[in-house]
Structure 1
Amino acid sequence: MQSAHSEGSPIPASIELRDVASCNDQNSQRSIWGIVWSCLSTIFLCTWVAVHPNVHFRTKKPSWNWFGRWLRDPLSVFFTYKLPLFLWELVVPEYILAWAVRQYVQAGVVSRQVPGWTRTHGFFMIMGGFHLFRLPADALSIPLPLTSSKSSDFIIPSGRHSRRDEVPVCPLKFEDLPVDILEIIVPIEDELKDRGKSDALTKLIVMIQTLWFIVQCIARGTQRLPLTELEVVTLAYAMLNFFIYGIWWDKPQNVECPIRVYKSSTAGHKESGKVEVWEHNWAWRWMQKVTTYTTGAQDLYVSMSKRRSVPMFWSGRIESNLLGQAGLGPSILGAAFGAIHCVAWASDFPSRPEFVLWRISCVAMITVPLVVTMLCFSVRMLVATAESPDPVWVEAMMVTSITLLALSAWLYIVSRIVMLVIAFTSLRSLSPAAFMTVDWTTFIPHI
């Protein structure tokens, strides 16, 4: 009997999955739960696992009972630090990439100023790895000498006392510690890496798993098999994750306890460097905050002596000539991240509104990072022409990019959320071809 459809004709969308399965081997079919699990596990690797947070130091009360130690404290850390950081990575992954690049640049600057330091030392310094404590009044100590044979305010304990009686003061910046002191108290590179919760093998396994997902998506495209919108979103995360993981390769991961640096109970602490002040006018302050947080200059407004831990996105006070340069690469990759979502530009969406919203979100996710690129480039040019009058076109570019960014910052976040929602809602109506698996025999030589 002749088939109802000629060979090579497209499969109508009305054919049910069981009809397609009758023409294909059962092993060549994917289930919707398999697709969801593969995507969610990859997104988890690219968001929760890939992030290398700063040291989130917190003091624990010794009088807490088991409820406080095992439930209240972990839940407090989860909801106040880990969950917000995860949401940032989920909604604005380009910002995490920019943060990683700033830390990489600053870690290199710091490591070159101390003999024998590596980039791991620089990462540990700027991630809040050193915290100032005051010894009890009756504790014995020895002043740490400087090269000039003068005594410093920093000391080392020389007697017996309870560490619970030590009073935490504030995290320390690189500028707060003399190089002579750092050479004495800082561990070697292997000891710093040992403080992290993951090693090179663990990171390599995560990257291989992420690469395998990318290879599968490329193979489906080669065989003209459609990708679901959820797979397209996951593919974008996976591509960006490679850069984030590579940049943070030498940074210790999930360090919770900083190295204690001591001063006596009577010694004062004056923070080094100048702390900038926000504008008083709310409109100017809003534009100022959008610009500074986008370019990563917000650390100039942080007074570390008033904090118990480094800010979530602390990167150190980077020089202006490096700030704009550090933002160019992440902003360009951010636009590429948005462009990957255009893979589903011509996909069959369940409804017309989802189709339109997806395209609008794609355009927004490409345009806004390009505005950031224009802003970072103008900052770089202003620093380069500091010795001469600023060109008019550079100032115009700066004003235009700041204005556009202040108006479109929320558009990007809304577009990301809309795209994530559509990625899941579109699973309710998939074409039969979306359930077909890749025929790997076309790629792998076999007998």
Structure 2
Amino acid sequence: MLILLLAYHIAQSVQSEAGPIPALLEQRDVVPRDDQNNQRPIWSIIWSCLSTIFLCTWVAVHPNVHFKPEKHNQRWFEKWLWDPLHEFFTYKLLLFVWALLVPEYILAWAVRQYIQAGVISRQVPGWTRTHGFFMVMGGFHLFRLPTGASFIPLPHESSKPSEFVVASGRHLRQDEVPVCPLKFEDFSIDVLEIIVPTETELKDRGKSDALTKLIVLVQTLWFIVQCIARGTQHLPLTELEVVTLAYAMLNLFIYGFWWDKPRNVECPIRLYKASTTTHKESGEEAEEWETNQAERWWQKVITYTLGAQDAHVTLSSEHSTPMFWSGRIPIKLLGDAGLGPTILGAVFGAIHCIAWSSEFPSRSELVLWRVSCISMIAVPFITTIFLAFMAISWRTEEHSTDWMMVIGLICAVLLILSAWLYVAGRLATLVIAFSTLRAPPPAVFVNVDWTAFIPHIY
């Protein structure tokens, strides 16, 4: 809403201060075309950019299952106002801010889930990557049956009885008590073959289908094509269009990795055990954070950069799947999973350099834009070197050689010291992208001559 108000204010100021577009073209010694329809208004530019950015930062994100237990006897104020607003500000808005300020982190999350979904799908006969995604995103939740409810155990091929049961008596589902999300290691293969729906049923739980995703991709690709066409005809782009072009590029990769992941699933599949009082998740125990505050802060920065934070999560103590949960990926794959997104993160910053020599309303905006571009390239590049070093060290036996320790320490220090520059650069480019709309170059308003791309016979 604030962005829309800012855009409206800028549009009004451009129209009131600059005057008609043809007059503005004459002032800058640019000859306007005879066809007045070949001019694009400022609102067309703003709307095209904002809609594309919205698709890339809100629609493109496929969140994990954010389970919210049902509340009984709710007042209308809580049900229709407080709970939706609380959900929006504490979860959905946070994801939007992450996608807006650090889009390559969203891409890294998508890559980790893609890898983990593939690892899981190969272990169960008949499973697809959609099944793997559904497991990774928290699609299964453990519930406790009401006291006295009857049940029967699920059939099990081994001699050991299955811990999971099926309710056989009559009781209200609202009396079932949610316990915690479940992960792949908590199940046996034969149990999964019984309880998991088909791929079509899983996709039906999502809030978008292939057609919706295709429309988003077409919109994103169309924006990219328009920017390329303007470049071939030597027509300038506004800084807002340059920023949007960077988002559109990353959005193609995010959508590609999440194509098979159900979107906005809110209700997981309920599973029951004969006794949940002694439930303990399978697999390795979660690692502990450092007790010293300074060391813990250092450790968290490095861990979240690598995408290894899931190793510190005890899922059985969580009420819902963590926001960026992607399962405990094997340590040797973490470095590989992060290399691509960090390289694309540097490309994301490099795209902003398209406006390196553009006409800025002031010298300070030009300098700030260039400094921001450098920071948005340098920080992902440092992260790439750090991840490459970690990938090499994890794949070799030389984990503790002096030169490796020195390189890792230097990269870690540079990353921690420069991370704030990246966030500052992202904020600066977003602000400048709107502020420069108050006095754009006249040629910005000239539309692409699409007939020039049609072969002519002379």
Which residue of structure 2 aligns with residue 360 of structure 1?
371
Which residue of structure 2 aligns with residue 118 of structure 1?
128
**Counterpart check, 1:419 vs 2:436:** no
Which residue of structure 1 aligns with residue 13 of structure 2?
none
**Counterpart check, 1:194 vs 2:204:** yes
Which residue of structure 1 aligns with residue 382 of structure 2?
371
Which residue of structure 2 aligns with residue 288 of structure 1?
299
Q: Contact 1:134 / 1:167 at 8 angstroms: preserved in 2?
A: yes
Determine which of 150, 156, 175 is the counterpart of 1:140: 150
Q: Shift in Å at residue 100 of structure 1?
A: 0.2
Which residue of structure 2 aligns with residue 393 of structure 1?
403
Q: Shift in Å at residue 66 of structure 1?
A: 2.7
Structure-2 separation of matches of 1:424 and 1:16: 24
Q: Shift in Å at residue 149 of structure 1?
A: 3.2
- Specify the SS of the correspondent of 1:145: coil
Report how many residues are paired: 436
Q: Deviations over 1:156-205 (max 9, x none)?
A: 11111100000000001111222222111111111111111111111111
Q: Shift in Å at residue 99 of structure 1?
A: 0.3
Determine which of 419, 433, 438 is the counterpart of 1:428: 438
Which amino acid in 2 is paired with 1:85?
L
Which residue of structure 1 aligns with residue 241 of structure 2?
231
Q: Shift in Å at residue 14 of structure 1?
A: 6.4
Q: Shift in Å at residue 68 of structure 1?
A: 2.2
Q: Shift in Å at residue 61 of structure 1?
A: 0.8
Determine which of 385, 389, 394 is the counterpart of 1:383: 394
Which residue of structure 1 aligns with residue 187 of structure 2?
177
Q: Deviations over 1:38-66 (max 9, x none)?
A: 00000011111000000000112121133
Q: Deviations over 1:207-243 (max 9, x none)?
A: 0110000000000000000000000000000011000
Which residue of structure 1 aligns with residue 82 of structure 2?
72
Q: Contact 2:28 / 2:442 at 8 angstroms: preserved in 1?
A: no
Q: Shift in Å at residue 145 of structure 1?
A: 3.1
Structure-2 separation of matches of 1:18 and 1:375: 48
Q: Which runs of 5+ in 2 are unaligned?
A: 1-20
RMSD, aligned CA? 1.9
Residues 241, 22 of structure 1: alpha-carbon distance in 2 compared, 3 angstrom cutoff:
closer
- Specify the SS of the correspondent of 2:142: strand
Q: Shift in Å at residue 245 of structure 1?
A: 0.2
Which residue of structure 1 aligns with residue 106 of structure 2?
96
Which residue of structure 2 aligns with residue 324 of structure 1?
335
Structure-2 separation of matches of 1:124 and 1:24: 56
Q: Which runs of 5+ in 1 are unaligned?
A: 1-10
Structure-2 separation of matches of 1:355 and 1:13: 26
Q: Contact 1:226 / 1:434 at 8 angstroms: preserved in 2?
A: yes
Q: Percent identity?
A: 68
Structure-1 separation of matches of 2:177 and 2:298: 39
**Counterpart check, 1:311 vs 2:322:** yes
Which residue of structure 2 aligns with residue 218 of structure 1?
228
Q: Shift in Å at residue 445 of structure 1?
A: 3.7
Superposition map of 1:334-345 within 5 A: 334-345=345-356
Q: Contact 1:278 / 1:301 at 8 angstroms: preserved in 2?
A: yes
Q: Shift in Å at residue 267 of structure 1?
A: 4.6
Residues 335, 115 of structure 1: alpha-carbon distance in 2 compared, 3 angstrom cutoff:
same
Which residue of structure 2 aligns with residue 6 of structure 1?
none
Structure-2 separation of matches of 1:155 and 1:73: 32
Structure-1 separation of matches of 2:318 and 2:441: 54
Structure-1 separation of matches of 2:276 and 2:181: 18
**Counterpart check, 1:241 vs 2:227:** no
Q: Shift in Å at residue 379 of structure 1?
A: 1.1
Structure-2 separation of matches of 1:241 and 1:421: 21
- Specify the SS of the correspondent of 2:154: strand
**Counterpart check, 1:160 vs 2:170:** yes
Residues 166, 434 of structure 1: alpha-carbon distance in 2 compared, 3 angstrom cutoff:
same
Q: Contact 2:343 / 2:384 at 8 angstroms: preserved in 1?
A: yes
Structure-2 separation of matches of 1:425 and 1:24: 30
Structure-2 separation of matches of 1:220 and 1:255: 40
Structure-2 separation of matches of 1:189 and 1:366: 40
**Counterpart check, 1:41 vs 2:51:** yes
Q: Contact 1:374 / 1:397 at 8 angstroms: preserved in 2?
A: no
TM-score normalised according to structure 1 size: 0.94
Q: Shift in Å at residue 271 of structure 1?
A: 1.9
Q: Deviations over 1:295-332 (max 9, x none)?
A: 10001111111111011100101111001110011010
Structure-1 separation of matches of 2:59 and 2:40: 26
Which residue of structure 2 aligns with residue 250 of structure 1?
260
Superposition map of 1:400-415 within 5 A: 400-415=410-425
TM-score normalised according to structure 2 size: 0.92
Which amino acid in 1 is paired with 2:326?
S
Which amino acid in 1 is paired with 2:328?
R
